[in-house]
Amino acid sequence: MRFGVLCNGNQFQQWQLEAVRLLISDGHTCELLIKNANQFKQPTLREKIRNYPYFKLLYRIWYRYGMKPESKKMVDISAEYAGLREILCATTRRKGISEYFSEKDIELIKEYNLDFILRFGFGILKGEILNSAKYGVWSYHHDDDRKYRGVPTGFWEIMFNDPVNAAILQRLTEKIDSGTILYKAYFGTINHSWQANLNNLLSASTEWPLQVCRKIETGDTGFLAEVNSSDTALYKLPGNLKMLRFLTKVSVNKMIFHFRDLFLTEKWNVGLLNTSVENLVKQGSYIIPEPKWLNIQNRKQVYHADSFGLQIDGHYHVLCEEYDYKIAKGVLVSLLIDADSGNILKKTKALETEYHLAYPYFFKFENQAWCVPESSESGDLSLYRYNPQNGKLVFEQILIHKLQAVDPSLFFYDGIWWLFFTDRTSTNERLHIWYSETLKGTYVPHANNPVKTNISSSRPAGNPFILNGSLFRPAQDCSVRSGRRITINRIITLSTTQFDEEEYSILSPAKGSEYGDGMHTFCATGDLIIVDGKREQFIWQAFAGKLSIKLNRLLKIIR
């Protein structure tokens, strides 16, 4: 596709330049830089002093000197795009802030037959410029358009204790904040650092223009006809009192973050629900019944999580992670469970390697039990056979080399093996899909990875299942913290070029439960559902390890 860029000169922010680079590296062509030639009347020094917004002084000082996100670092593009065609355009202002291009400049831009224009410069655009490319002008808004219109970016989510920070790429229309949503993503709000929160939003959005191009090229264009409309309150830059409240809130959040990180440690356990998905899963949000928690003999610094199970020869075989805070490493264990009583008959160390293991995704194929565990530290994704006689996992082969897949979930559907996972760089938010025609065959990435970015429903949380003729996929809701609860998604479209799913139900543990502080796996096998649950408590070994890390970081800063 052919595109142009609206900019204010040769200086791009780092994240903006990366968005352009990704488009070009994928074969799209940047045909034109539309540079801002505006020379609006500048106020005199006397006018500046007289009209300066002193009631926003604290915000201006903090934003100028205290906010240095890496993604906003300015980069000169003169050398990299020296031969690129460019035009200088001066706009006129109407109704105070809206900017209009001249007819001459619009005709000149149209001569380039652009598919779209990225807006990285100028102000609020109105008029025919919005129709000067086939798919219009694309612009970012790094907040949830349904909640926070206006400025500053990534600020009000922290101010109002919102655990989720959304962002959009939209096609602009004449009406502000009522364009076509091209891409929308949801991130966890980093409430103890505005700089980190803003940096996360900007850096994670660089792929979106490329992903929209891929959707258009594969014929997935239905979203282009949808018109968004938002009439929420318009937020403005905070005054001094509000900014003081904000800085106080961030400081308190930072103390709470470090306190929780040091003194509250996750203690997980495996639980059994004697029911089926048909009886348990229904649309809406609700509390699950109290599971039968397994009495796995272990030390205080050891937990068991990421539980999967299969029924083999009249017994339930459960695979789960066994993590020891003392050595900061996980191994996989197998549990032989009595089908009637739910008691553990035998516990076996199923697999241990030199690197950390977790999430032993467990499934049957051709009368054989298989496992694809998370082994992202190794850099490879491997397939293992399960031996039900001794509870051991036997290496079969590497499925994909150099893939740091987190919580890999592999299942057969509609004649294809589908592999869902999040990547190690964004474990809770960015969902990826790979696929193959055979279990051991060559796996290739989906045409539009990552297919989804949502802190509340991306990261896999168990085996997909069929219910009432539809395919459902459990996912982790990590919006408040990792492993908060389970979201059940109903998959609407799944092909090698397209993917779409919708939230169907949310499963939460009871607050009074023995392990009621969270859950992050949901595995259905027959009339048994295997889950895990956590409680937060103080564990000395975890505290010592985290304290050592924090002290080392502090020493590096001092030095």
Question: What confidence tens digit (pLDDT) does each residue in 501-511 have?
Answer: 999 999 999 88
DSSP string, 448-481: TSS-EEBTTT-SB-S--EEETTEEEEEEEE-SSS
Name the helix (H) or strand (E) containing 530. strand 528-537
Residue 93 confidence (pLDDT): 86
Question: What confidence tens digit (pLDDT) does each residue in 476-532 have?
Answer: 999 988 899 999 999 999 999 999 999 999 999 988 899 999 999 999 998 899 999
Task: Retrieve residue 93's tokens.
Answer: 């202002």
Question: What confidence tens digit (pLDDT) does each residue in 189-216 have?
Answer: 999 999 999 999 999 999 999 999 999 9
Q: Please state, in angstroms and rounded to a whole number, the distance separating the CA atoms of residues 247 and 161.
A: 13
Name the helix (H) or strand (E) containing 550. helix 540-558
Give the pLDDT mean for 7-26: 96
Question: What confidence tens digit (pLDDT) does each residue in 40-69 have?
Answer: 667 788 888 888 889 999 999 999 988 999
DSSP string, 4-28: EEEESSSEEEHHHHHHHHHHHHTT-
The label of the residue with tokens 């680079």 reads 21
Q: Which of these, 416, 22, 468, lies nearest to 204 by C-alpha position?
A: 22
Better-scored residue on pLDDT, 176 or 333:
333
DSSP string, 124-189: EEESGGGGSSTT-EEEEE-S-TTT-EESSTTTHHHHTT-SEEEEEEEE--SSTT-SEEEEEEEEE-
Is residue 253 helix, strand or coil? helix
DSSP-derived letter for residue 334 is E
Please report which confidence band the pLDDT of residue 220 belongs to, taking 50, 70 and 90 as the band edges.
confident
Residue 201 confidence (pLDDT): 96
Is residue 223 helix, strand or coil? helix
Paired with 187 in beta bridges are 165
Residue 233 confidence (pLDDT): 82
Give the pLDDT mean for 72-98: 90
DSSP-derived letter for residue 516 is B
Mean model confidence pLDDT for the chain = 93
Q: Please state, in angstroms and rounded to a whole number, the distance separating the CA atoms of residues 497 and 214.
A: 9
Give the pLDDT mean for 157-182: 92
Residue 40 confidence (pLDDT): 65
Q: Which of 43-47, 419-423, 426-430 has the lowest mean pLDDT?
A: 43-47
Largest CA distance in the chain: 87
End-to-end CA distance of the chain: 49
Question: What confidence tens digit (pLDDT) does each residue in 287-342 have?
Answer: 999 999 998 877 889 999 999 999 998 889 999 999 999 999 999 999 999 877 87
Give the pLDDT mean for 533-555: 91
Q: Which of these, 471, 426, 414, lies nearest to 452 by C-alpha position?
A: 426
> Is pLDDT above 80 for 144?
yes
Q: Which residues contact 379 (CB under 8 A, 6 or more apart)?
A: 401, 402, 403, 404
Q: Which of 44-48, 99-103, 392-396 has the lowest mean pLDDT?
A: 44-48
Percentage of the chain surpassing pLDDT 90? 82
Q: Which domains does the chain have, with CATH numbers?
A: 2-256 (3.40.50.170), 266-555 (2.115.10.20)
Residues 228/181, Cβ–Cβ less than 8 Å: yes
Residue 226 confidence (pLDDT): 78
Q: Please state, in angstroms and rounded to a whole number, the distance separating the CA atoms of residues 195 and 167.
A: 16
Please report which confidence band the pLDDT of residue 269 belongs to, taking 50, 70 and 90 as the band edges.
very high
Residue 330 confidence (pLDDT): 97
Q: Which of these, 86, 97, 171, lies nearest to 132 by C-alpha position?
A: 171
Strand duo 180-188 + 164-171: pairing: antiparallel
Q: Please state, in angstroms and rounded to a whole number, the distance separating the CA atoms of residues 430 and 408.
A: 13
Sheet strands (E) in 10-89: 11-13, 29-36, 74-76, 86-89
Give the pLDDT mean for 145-169: 94
Q: Please state, in angstroms and rounded to a whole number, the distance separating the CA atoms of residues 553 and 558.
A: 9
Go through 96-110 and write b for each residue having 16 or more CB atoms within 10 A of its CB, e for each that does not: eebbbbeeebbebbe
Phi, psi of 24 (to 5 degrees): -65, -40
Task: Retrieve residue 286's tokens.
Answer: 């609700």
Q: Is the dihedral of CA 102, 5, 179, 136 positive or negative?
A: positive
Residue 52 confidence (pLDDT): 85
In this structure, the number of other CB atoms found within 10 A of the CB of residue 369 comes to 18
Residues 205/15, Cβ–Cβ less than 8 Å: yes
Give the pLDDT mean for 340-354: 92
* Whether the bond into 450 is cis, omega within 30 of 0: yes
Please report which confidence band the pLDDT of residue 225 belongs to, taking 50, 70 and 90 as the band edges.
confident
Task: Retrieve residue 514's tokens.
Answer: 């023995």
Q: Please state, in angstroms and rounded to a whole number, the distance separating the CA atoms of residues 521 and 374.
A: 14
Q: Please state, in angstroms and rounded to a whole number, the distance separating the CA atoms of residues 195 and 439.
A: 44
Model confidence pTM above 0.85: yes
